[in-house]
Structures are given as structure tokens and as C-alpha cells.
Structure 1
Amino acid sequence: MDERTTDPVLFPWRYGAGVLVFFTLCALIRSVDHDESQYVAAAVLTAHGYLPFRDFAYLQTPLQPFLFAPVAWLAGPWVWPALRLVNATLGAVLVSCVWRAAREAGASARAALIAAGLLALSDILLFSIATARNDALPAALLAAALVPIVRAQQGRGSAGQAVLIGLLLAAAAAAKVSYALPAAAYGVYALIDRRHRPLAVLAGAMPMVAFVAWTWAMAPAAFVFGTLRFPALAPAEYYTPGSWKMSYLAKAVDALKFFALGPALLALVLVRRRLMRPGVVEWLVLAGLVAALLPFPTWRQYLLPVLPPLFVVLALVWDRAPPGRGLRIFTVVTIFAGLAPSVAAAVQALDGSSMLVALREGRAIRTALDSAGVQGPVATLSPQFLGVTGRLPDRRFAAGPFYYRTHQLADPAIEPRFHVVSADRPADLDRAPPAAVLIGGEAPWTAGDSDTDALLEHWAIARGYRTVAIDSTRFRLYVRRP
């Protein structure tokens, strides 16, 4: 009897529970990050009936705000930590799907468990599932698709499973545009190997294609700007010409560094021969590498599309050629390397940038807003701090600091249609000034740039906004005079 048929369908519960507890702790103790701003704001605004692109700027493909809006509505003032916990749960789902895909591919239970455990200890994954960004959702969808993909490769698939593959891969691309490349790569593979039922895969993708087309149709220019133009143009504008970060050498160094923070680089080395003769899972590894290395500059979360298929292949290699003692010792070294950044982030959080501190600051902001009688939206480059206050962010700042710090990415006449404003062109702010301006969340303690926050503060002071006392050494609140 095939050993797979005696296995439970899901990841063994004791290991799954352990991974979930570990990821939850990582999410709760990791220091806050300004990257979380637009994702928290998008979920909150969507929960209140506003739609991405049509009503506020969103700099990604649109699925996540719609899926996470119910969480934001239910969590209320706890929306920021709640979204972190959702991502931690998605991380546990991702690991369990990689384990199951490895078992379906023929790896032993032990090898599949080792591969899943090594994946769970990679810094690329640990960062992505511990913050309220948009990395965990598409990666979990890709990992879930690997299970029926492996079944189809072995001739055990069905039309229904092919439809599911199309739906999952299209949903991943609808949550983050970089996952469109692995999805397209699988579509090409399915055309070559008809065991994968390309027409059924296409049928499964159509609901997500229709959903994305609907969001595009509501605001075509804003959609194209948020999903394609901004990601392509903003880094080159933000970094000075000739900057090291924008060089190919920096890309190579950063990619090696991020892969080496954990077992991912070791996994790439161990599976290199299989990548020369790719099957469908290896094909997805290669597509993930291309998707990861296309953007400039390279950040750790960009490498996440590589990991789910990579560790499925690793399980097969580990099973058929178990490593010797020296390699096992080196694997332990990579585990410590993967944990080191998370430990450093936790230490930083203890020094005053933890989620508990962020919530305490939020309560101080709420008290100040209450005392000033501010009920309307608040302009701030750190809208993630507004969740606990019960106030919505000014929709022109839904993208956090990332559009405000740009200079010439959109025509000034178009900015109001995109619901954005930049520091260089505050005309729309002058036309419709916000009731209040909150300063202090875009700063080094959130991995942000206080100079960008200062530009908004200077605008408020120049327009005669009055200072409102706030019980915080980090935040400053300015309220418009009657």
C-alpha cells in the first residue's frame, strides 16, 4: 500500500499547533514597521465601504483588502494586531500545505516534516507572516495550489482539482502582482503537459480575472497606476541616481543575504541539479526566482514566492540523498541565522517599538482627538495607528508615506482622481484641509523616515493648525482652527 494513503490529509495537528503558536508569538512581539501602514488602512477603509482605486489609493493588486475587510470590521480597535494574527495563521497554513505537497510528491513523512520545519525557520517567511503586509496571503494560496498540482503531475488529478489550481493561483496574483509570473508559468506548463487540464485551470482562474477586471473598470487609470506604474517607477525616484541599492551588484548581494538568513540558500544549493531538469514544481521554483529578482531594490519579502515550491523539492532531495553529519551541522547553523533577525526585531520591540507600545500610543492619540473634538478623518503618514482611535484615515493618505514622499509620479491634475497628495504639491490639501494632522509614526522607530513626516508637519504649522497636547513623546497632533 502507498504510504501516502495511510497519512492524514492535513499536517499532523501537534506540529501544526506548534507552528501556529510560534508564528503567533512572532507576530505579537515583532517591532512595528511602517510598511504595514497601507495594508491596515486599506482593510479598514474597505470595511467602511470604500473601494480600492475608486475611493482610495492602493499600491497592490486588490484582493487582500476585500478578504481582510471583515476582519477589520470585527476587530474594531484591535485591527492592527488582528491582521498580524491573520497573517501568522496563513503562515501556518502555508507550512502545512508544503508538508502535504511534499508527501503527495512522494517524500517520506520525515523528509516532508524536515522541509516544512526548515521553511518555518526562514527569515523571509518569518518577516512576512509577522507583519500586517500582503505577503502571507498570496504565498499561502500558492502553497495550497501545490497540493493539487503535484497530484496532477502524477496523474492523480481531476478536473475539479484543476479548477481549484486556477482559482488559487489567480487569487495569489490578485493579492500580489509578483505572483502573476508563477501563475503564468504554470499555465504555460499546463499547455505542454495536458495532465494538468489547461482548460479547467483557465476556468478556475476566471472568477479572479473577473474580480480584478471589475476593480479595474471602476477606476482604470488609478488601477494601472497603483498596480503597475507606482511599483515600477517609485523606487527609481526615491533612491538617488546611481544609488548602490539600485545596482545589479546590490541585487545579487541582497538576494544572497536574504536567502542565507535561514535554510533557503542551502535548499537552493541542494536542489540545483533538479532545477536543471525541471518538473512542474521545479518550474515554479524558477518562476518564483524570476518574480523575486525582477523588482529593484531587492527586499526579503520579494523572495517569498520561491519558498513553497523550493521546500517541496528539498523534501524529495533530502529523502533520496540524506545529508551527512557535516551538512546537518551546517543546517543547524542556517536555522540560527534564520532566527537571528526575528530575535533582533523582538529586542528592538522591547526597547519601545512593540505592538503593545503601538496600541498604548494609539490610546493616547484617541484621548487627544477626543479632547479636541475631532471626529472626522485624520491626515497621517502612519494610518495604522488610527485603528485604536476609532477614526478613519484621510483617504488621501491611505498609502501611508509611500506616495506622499514622491515628486513627479502623477500629474498634479490627476492626483485628486487618484486620491493622493505629495509633499511637493499640497494643493489638494489646501483645497480640502483635513480636520487633524498626526505626526510621529513615520520615524526610525517604525523603520520610517522622520524627514518625510516633517514635511507634513511643516504644512500643518504653515496653515495655522493648533497644537493639541498628547500624552506621548513620539506623536504630535495638530488640529485645524475653526
Structure 2
Amino acid sequence: MNSRRVIPWILLSSIVIWAVLATANILLGELNQDEGWYLYAARLTAEGHLPFRDYAFTQGPVFPLVYSLLDPIVRRHGVLGGRVCTALLGLASALVAAALARNLAGGGGRGSYAAALAFSLITVNVYQSYFTAVVKTYSLTALFLSAALLLLSVRRFPFASAFAAGTLAVLAACTRSSAAVAAPIAFAYLVSGADARRAYRAVGFVAGGLAAA
């Protein structure tokens, strides 16, 4: 099978299907009761208020801090603008996951197939599309987690990549509390691996996590 012919078609068809599903869920997806609250929290943050100090918030502080940067879009387009931004974050997480699959498969032709398959499985999933289009924490958390795992799969610059991965893992946990379980699992993977630099990478991961915390 010629990857030069097949892979571009897989990616193109996946992007088209993603666009159709994302558009349908952005425009027609059932309104989630949390969407307005999340966007309101982001607006309060954009106005200078801080979560936990100035208003109650049920998750970590990262979501309103990040989405406060998107508040001008939400002010103009409302929930629709928030959903479009969230869907794009979901697409970004799918691209990062595809890069992770490529690294884990060893790169080359095999890695390209793995990346295309991972991207396709994520983007054509109807449920994935909905939950990464509504304004909730899923898209941003997925982006942080997939980026952290991608950095852990990088063998060059072991301390720096592990440091950044630790930072992203904590950001994911501070976006959605249930993602906190990922950090100790990643740490256990680092210390139990066969890599001769595992201790060096584990220290970097912990340092990055502490820096973010």
C-alpha cells in the first residue's frame, strides 16, 4: 500500500467529516447547562476577578484564565463563539494526539499510518465531536494531556521535555480535576521505564509540575 496516496485521503476525509460534525454540534448540539456558567466565569476573569477569591468555581482555575483571552469573541458571538473556539481546541488536541501516535510508532511510513489512523478515529467520532464542541473543560484538558504525552515521547532534551510535560499535566489537572490521575501515572511510567535517563526525566517532570502548581 502506497502511503503517499492513502494517507492524504484519510486525512482529507477526516477533516471534512470533522468539519461537518463540528458544524452540526456547534449549531444544533443540545445546550449544556454548564456552558453559560463557564463563559460567565471567563468573563469575570477577563474583567479582573479571580476564581475562588472573587467568585465560586467548581473546577481548577486554568479554564477561566484561558477562556478569558477569548472573551472578546464570546462578547460578540455569545455561546456560538465559545463553541467555535472550543471545537478548534478539540481539533488541536486531535492533531497533537496524531503526532503522539506517529512518535510511538517509530516515525517513517509506519508512523504516518499511525498518525492518520489516530486522527481519523478521533475526528470522526460523533460523541467526541459533541463533547469537544460544547463549552466545557474537555477540549482544553485533552489538549494539555495529549501535549504532555507527546513531550514524554520525545527522546531529545530529556529534562526540558519532561519539565514541559509535567507543567502541562498539572495544567490539565487544574482545568478538569479528574485529569489529576494522569500525572502520577505518567510519573510511574517514567521511573519504571528502561530508559537510562529515567531518573533525570522523572526529576524534570516533577519540577515542571511543581512550577505549574
Q: Would the TM-score normalized by the shorter structure come out above 0.5?
A: yes
Deviations 1:250-298 (A, max 9, x none): xxxxxxxxxxxxxxxxxxxxxxxxxxxxxxxxxxxxxxxxxxxxxxxxx
Deviations 1:11-49 (A, max 9, x none): x98578546634541323323221313211111111122
- Residue 187 of structure 2 is matched in structure 1 by 187
Q: Is contact 1:167–1:201 with CA below 8 Å preserved after alignment?
A: yes
* Equivalences for residues 159-198 of structure 1 within 5 A: 159-193=159-193, 195-196=197-198, 197-198=201-202
Structure 1 residue 42 corresponds to structure 2 residue 45: no
Tell me the percent identity. Answer: 26
Q: For 1:124 and 1:55, how far apart are their aligned partners in 2?
A: 35
- Residue 207 of structure 1 is matched in structure 2 by 211
The offset of 1:176, in angstroms, is: 0.6
Q: Is contact 1:43–1:69 with CA below 8 Å preserved after alignment?
A: yes
Q: For 1:19 and 1:95, how far apart are their aligned partners in 2?
A: 13
The offset of 1:191, in angstroms, is: 2.5
Q: For 1:77 and 1:63, how far apart are their aligned partners in 2?
A: 23
Give 3-state SS (helix, strand or coil) of 2:45's partner. helix
* Equivalences for residues 209-288 of structure 1 within 5 A: 209=213
CA gap 1:37/1:74 in 2 versus in 1, 3 angstroms: closer
The offset of 1:89, in angstroms, is: 0.7
* Equivalences for residues 225-374 of structure 1 within 5 A: none
CA gap 1:15/1:92 in 2 versus in 1, 3 angstroms: farther
The structure where helix makes up a greater share of residues is 2
The offset of 1:85, in angstroms, is: 1.2
Give the unaligned 5+ runs of structure 1: 1-11, 210-482
Give 3-state SS (helix, strand or coil) of 1:33's partner. coil
Indicate the structure (1 or 2) with the bigger Cα radius of gyration.
Answer: 1
Whichever residue aligns with residue 37 of structure 2, its letter is Q
Equivalent position to 1:144, from 122, 147, 155: 147
TM-score (norm 1): 0.38
Q: For 2:181 and 2:92, how far apart are their aligned partners in 1?
A: 22
Q: For 2:28 and 2:99, how far apart are their aligned partners in 1?
A: 29
RMSD of equivalent CA atoms: 2.4
Q: For 1:131 and 1:176, how far apart are their aligned partners in 2?
A: 15
CA gap 1:205/1:23 in 2 versus in 1, 3 angstroms: farther
Number of corresponding residues? 195
**Which consecutive segments of 4 or more residues in structure 1 shift more than 4 A?**
12-17
Deviations 1:352-393 (A, max 9, x none): xxxxxxxxxxxxxxxxxxxxxxxxxxxxxxxxxxxxxxxxxx
Whichever residue aligns with residue 148 of structure 1, its letter is L
